[in-house]
Amino acid sequence: MSNLAITVERIDRIQPHPHADRLEIVHVLGTQCIVGQGDHCVGDLVFYFPPGMLLPLEWSEKLGVRKYLKHSWLKGEKIQCRVAACRLRGIPSYGFVSGGVGPVPIGTDMTYVFDAEQYVPPLPPGDQAPGHDDFECYTNIQNFWQYPNAIPEGMLVRITEKLHGTNSRVGVVQVGGEWQFMAGSHNVCWKQPSRYWEPLTYENVLRMINVLCDEQHPVTVYGEIFGPGVQDMDYGLSAPGYRVFDIKVAGKFLSLEEFLDATVFFSIATVPELYRGPFHKSMVEEYTSGVSSLAIPSTIRSKFKGREGVVIKPMEETWSEALLGRLVLKSLSADYLDRKGAQDNA
């Protein structure tokens, strides 16, 4: 999960809206919002409210944005409070901005001022199991708009489709001298029975883990469980599907070549690859939106038939000073964030 906050930002540039004379496009950080014409000027300091923040009723009414917010649980009550994204006259708008900023440094976290908080998906039912140091959570992938300059122009990257499901990790670790299988979601380990143990019922996944382990190394396979009954997007499937996107052996992520060799050899499906080559900022929005590569739209039964977004990762494992961690970023579609009947369980 990315780390979100309401921050003070400067408007970098303003563009006229191509389809509406009374609207403009303001650019802050690495993203954009639609505003009324003349509401802001280049260089203005604004509060930026990104998608995924929960805003109390008092503040949403003061700011005049309540009717634009989605319903979510906040402080034990389900109300219109969740900042989202949308398309206004065909142009994506991610969250919103508000003026009235005093002499505050750019980037200052103002979340507490608005008594807001980041949306956290509810945990699924089930019994939690103890964690293990060798069964690590997956990378907290941040949004591209938060770190628009983290990936250098021209760096060789791989862009894959981000699937709307539930994060899965399965693997094997040594406990008390014995090798033991484990299964979990992003932050939690689960006891059986649980859907998070289902990948270990697939013979090819089990064989791959055993071979990579070789009774010497802890192994964690990271993937996504998705489809009907998991979230609100079915991808045209009649039963949940499973795709792998990363593998860690002995505490180290496999290289792209090693990852593909292992998954191809054991016939394990991976998340769809959309692009491989030199990175350019202009391509992010191009790949973020559109139809899912997993299904023909006519076979999808859910209301939203598009793409959640993309994950962008260098071809070679890279440490980022900006992120203070692995260089992996995501970009979410405005259409996905604005979809009807949105559901986002853990």
Residue-level pLDDT, tens digit, the chain, 346 residues: 678 999 999 999 999 999 999 999 999 999 999 999 999 999 999 999 999 999 999 999 999 999 999 999 998 899 999 999 999 998 999 999 999 888 899 999 999 999 999 998 877 778 899 999 999 999 999 999 999 999 999 999 999 999 999 999 999 999 988 999 999 999 999 999 999 999 999 999 999 999 999 999 999 999 999 999 999 999 999 999 999 999 999 999 999 999 999 999 999 999 999 999 999 999 999 999 999 999 888 999 998 889 999 999 999 999 999 999 999 999 999 999 988 766 555 4
Residue 179 sits in the same domain as residue 287:
yes
Domain boundary among 84, 118, 152: 118
Which residue bears the tokens 């009907």?
228
Residue 171 sits in the same domain as residue 299:
yes
Task: Say how far apart CA 138 and CA 223 lie, in whole Å.
Answer: 10
Range of the domain at 52: 7-118
- Token couple for 275: 């692009």
Task: Say how far apart CA 246 and CA 91 lie, in whole Å.
Answer: 33
Domain boundary among 76, 93, 118: 118
The reply to whether 20 falls in a domain is: yes
Residue 98 sits in the same domain as residue 154:
no
Cα 176 off chain centre by:
36
- Token couple for 41: 């000027």
* 40: nearest Cα among 84, 98, 87: 98
The reply to whether 343 falls in a domain is: no
The reply to whether 228 falls in a domain is: yes
Domain boundary among 78, 94, 118: 118
Residue 173 sits in the same domain as residue 300:
yes
Residue 212 sits in the same domain as residue 254:
yes
| CA Rg value for the chain | 21
The reply to whether 345 falls in a domain is: no
Report the predicted TM-score, pTM, of the whole model to 2 decimal places: 0.91
The CATH number of residue 319's host domain is: 3.30.470.30
The CATH number of residue 22's host domain is: 2.40.50
In total, how many domains does the chain have? 2
Residue 229 sits in the same domain as residue 91:
no
The reply to whether 257 falls in a domain is: yes
Residue 169 sits in the same domain as residue 213:
yes
Residue 258 sits in the same domain as residue 228:
yes
Cα 121 off chain centre by:
12
The reply to whether 297 falls in a domain is: yes
